[in-house]
Amino acid sequence: MTELAISARALSKRFGDVIAVDGVDLQIPTGQIYGFLGPNGSGKTTLIRMLCGLLTPSGGEVRVLGLEIPAQAETLRRKIGYMTQKFSLYDDLTVAENMQFMARVHGLSHRGAALRIEELLERYALSSMRQRFAGAMSGGQRQRLALAVATLHAPTLLFLDEPTSAVDPENRRDFWEKLFDLSDAGTTILVSTHYMDEAERCHQLAILETGHMRNQGTPQALLAQLQDRVVEIAGDHLRQVKERALRLPQVQSAAQQGVRLRVLLRAGTEDAAGYLRAHLEDRDLKLSNAQPSLEDVFVASTSGGKHLPVHSVASAPSPPRNSSSCHAIA
């Protein structure tokens, strides 16, 4: 069994009447890139803040790098890097000044800091803009600076909260290259995102919705679970076909993609294409089984608007969307 960088049991956080995170269990192995995939308001940021000791959990237990959190949060702070969702360096300081300041805060020696800053400026292609004010940089440049600062003190664990939400696809790809370099050097990385293409790059994924963990596993395992349940329909009047498809009990979701309609069927449906063909009663439609995508996994896991439980890789029943029936199952 691999060593765990983070383990959490029944982790919960409530703000007044709002339950932001509800009974999440986590086991994140050392050295992996672990993704939190979920829409806005799914509890990703709250979860990350609890894991790095910024928020006190309302319930549950957390161990990060072998430390009790939040009790030993102060010790943990020397070992982690944190990149906040919002750019949180100083807009009115230059690239170099921001880095020097944070190096001093982390207690790096003058000499050590100077060497490390040069190394990072080089690695993150910031050398040419060391005198540029952080506030005057583009989204991609800021995010490279934020990553450089988060790794100044060579942390063994990195928390990245939606690091690429303001970045174009090319910069996003470069950014992920840097993350794989860090991961290769042994850094454990926890990254939250709402982009499917980013989620696909993670070693392991947790799908979050309204504070609940809906599904967990490697992207491949999550995709395999959906095999034979995605059907693509080509033909005329797709809007009407979609309406009819959504009324069928075995159809979980239907989304139009250009000239095709992508239909996701519930777990346990045998011969998905046959089922649809039999029930849609339209001989002009062309139906074919399709490769599931991570978006399908996401929709399947989060019940995609139709309120029925889905099953995770471990075939444990995930709690349904509304919490009242959740209590009924528990």
Partner 1 sequence: MIVMIPLMQLLLFGYAITTVVRNIPIAVVDNSGSAVARAITEQVRVTQVVDITHYYATAVEAERAIVAGTVRAALIFPENLAQRAAGGEPVGQWLVDGSDTMVSAALLGLRSMPLHLEAGVPAGAYQAASPSFEVALFFNPERRSEVNIVPGLTAIILTMTLTLFTAVSLVREREHGNLELLITTPIRPLELMVGKLVPYIFVGIIQITIILGLGQLVFNVPFQGKLLNLAAVTLPFIAANLSLGLLFSTLATTQMQAMQLTFFFMLPSILLSGFMFPYDAMPQAAQYIAEVLPATHFMRLIRGVFLRGAHAGQLLPDILWLLGFTAVMLAIATKRFRKSLD
Write out the residues near partner 1 by the rule CB under 8 A: 49, 52-56, 70, 73-74, 77-78, 80, 82, 84, 86-91, 102, 105-107
Angle, alpha carbons 330-318-49 (nearest 5°): 95
Instruction: Select 54 or 246, whichever has its Cβ closest to partner 1.
Output: 54
Cβ of residue 56: shortest distance to partner 1, in angstroms? 5
CB of 98 to partner 1, least distance (A): 10
Count, residues in the chain: 330
Question: 10 Å Cβ neighbour count for 295?
Answer: 18
| Residue where the block lists tokens 């799908």 | 207
- Pick between residue 165 and residue 218 the one whose CB is nearest to partner 1: 165
Nearer to partner 1, 56 or 227 (CB): 56
Return d(Cα 126, Cα 123) in angstroms, integer.
8
Please name every residue paired with 158 in a beta bridge, in sequence order, or none if there are none. 81, 189
Nearer to partner 1, 52 or 191 (CB): 52
Shortest Cβ 85–partner 1 spacing (Å): 8
2 C-beta neighbours (distance < 10 Å), count: 10
> Which C-beta is closer to partner 1: that of 87 or that of 195?
87
Supply angle C-alpha 195, 196, 202, rounded to 5. Answer: 100
How far is Cα 52 from Cα 320, in angstroms, rounded to an integer? 28
Enter the tokens of residue 310.
């889905």
Nearest-angstrom CA–CA distance, 138 and 156: 28
Closest CA to 45 of 15, 75, 77, 78: 15
Range 43-77 burial, b when 16+ CB lie within 10 A, else e: bbbbbbbbbbbbbebeebebbbbebebbeebeebb
Q: Measuring CA to CA, which residue among 72, 84, 4 is closest to residue 48?
A: 84
In 185-293, alpha helices (H): 196-201, 219-224, 238-247, 272-280
- Judged by beta carbon, residue 57 or residue 140, the one nearer partner 1 is 57
CB-wise, 103 or 254, nearer to partner 1? 103
Q: How far is the CB of 168 from partner 1 (least distance, A)?
A: 22
Q: Which is nearer to partner 1, 45 or 215 (CB)?
A: 45
